Structure 1
Amino acid sequence: MKKAFIKLHIAIVLAGFTGIFGKLITLNEGLLAWYRICLAAILLAIILAVTKKLKSVTFREFGRISLAGCLLGCIGCFFMAVSNIPTFR
């Protein structure tokens, strides 16, 4: 129960600082999305390597992983396209 409260408090502190983090970030939306995708991929690879769940993949699994990567790439391109749309006031 104590661990759950500690995790809850950490989550609340991080959620509270998101506004401050948003003010400190000077990157545009597209570049920020690409950095987040790369960071997530690196962290996932590290977690899988540490837990020894990283194994060789079959051709079918490789296809599924590639499809997921393409979808993530489309999301990055979407954020880059949206950041270039002029606003009308």
Structure 2
Amino acid sequence: MGWNISPGQFRRSYTTMHTLGQHLAHVLPAGDWQSIAHLFGTGSGNPFTISPAQAARAARILRTGADHRLMPLDWATTARELAATAEQAASTGRPWEWR
């Protein structure tokens, strides 16, 4: 079981997303982490959507975390891929959907 995040073809297990969240929590400033922590604390699979404006902010924060010198390369790649789905939602004015 896992998350299918759209737009795009981003699919990751709940465990992978939880672990990504842990890495981001270690490299982001507290305020940035707090604004996206809810994305990584939901393991139940209950679908939710994020507004385009919130998706744009999340994308910026995810890229900040991915670019941090302490972020492991493989997790940075995952964070950038997730950021790309958020950016795509924001640029098209559609909700960022987690199913």
TM-score (norm 2): 0.30
Determine which structure has greater relative contact order: mean sequence separation of CA pairs < 8 Å that are 6+ residues apart, divided by chain length: 1
**Is the strand fraction higher in 1 or 2?**
2
TM-score (norm 1): 0.32
**Is the helix fraction higher in 1 or 2?**
1
